[in-house]
Amino acid sequence: MKNYSISRLAKLFDLSRSTLLYYDRIGLLPATKRSGSGYRLYTESDRERLERICLYREAGLSLNDIDLLLKNGDTLGNAVLEERLRAIGRQILALKDQQRMIVAMLKIKCDGTVAVADKALWISMMRAAGMDESGMKKWHAEFERQAPEAHYELLRLLGIEEAEAQAIKAWSTESR
């Protein structure tokens, strides 16, 4: 059975040495053994534990919650995961509020006109807001219905050319 040195194990998961030192300190992943000269020796089961830790970290769980998950069974585990799911939902909603606030601020600063610098920014924002093709279409249609003039102006401001703007107008109103 092979042992991993701290840096080798770190590299396996693309972590830093100090991360593993930290996990050791807080007891999340203590090195099972030590060499004669006091070097940490990680075993295969340490590696497996770290693999789970990394997975849960990618899911955004706190190290504390991960510790709980690894200690306890599925009953508590599911509860922890579900709570994290709820927290993510709350976070996303909060971030969307922030998006709206910032867009409003950008509008205000340039008295009446939207001043988002580039199309890519706007689109990535809409994408992030959960907009897929059909959502985009609905949004453009709604904008067109409520304020066709401003809609057109926005398209121009986003750097969308005349031709493309016409196409979007057509597309967003076609089968309705």
Partner DNA sequence: CATACGGTAACGTTGCGTGACCGTAC
Partner DNA sequence: CGTACGGTCACGCAACGTTACCGTAT
Q: Which is nearer to DNA, 67 or 153 (CB)?
A: 67
Tokens of 41: 């020796």
Give me the residues that bind DNA (CB under 7 A), please. 5-8, 15-19, 21-23, 31, 35-40, 57, 62-64
Residues 140-169 as x/- pattern, contact with its own copies by CB under 8 A? ------------------------------
CA–CA gap between residue 158 and residue 174 (Å, rounded):
22
- Say which residues have a Cβ less than 8 Å from residue 68's Cβ, sequence separation at least 6: 76, 77, 80
Per CB under 8 A, 103 contacts its own copies = yes
Per CB under 8 A, 1 contacts its own copies = no
CA angle 139, 142, 175 (to 5 degrees): 90
Q: Which long-range contacts link 14-23 to residues 24+ away (Cβ below 8 Å)?
A: 15/54, 23/50, 23/53, 23/63
Count interface residues toward its own copies (CB under 8 A). Answer: 45
Burial of 50 (0-12, 13-18, 19+ CB in 10 A): buried
Cβ at position 140, least distance to its own copies in Å: 14
Q: Which of residues 31-90 bind its own copies (CB under 8 A)?
A: 55, 58-60, 74, 77-78, 81-82, 84-86, 88-90
Residue 95 contact among DNA, its own copies, none, beta carbon within 5 to 8 Å by kind:
its own copies
Name the β-bridge partners of 41: 33
User: Around Cβ 137, how many Cβ atoms within 10 Å?
Assistant: 18
Cβ at position 42, least distance to DNA in Å: 9
**Candidate list 21, 26, 76, 92; residue touching its own copies; CB under 8 A:** 92
Cβ at position 137, least distance to its own copies in Å: 10
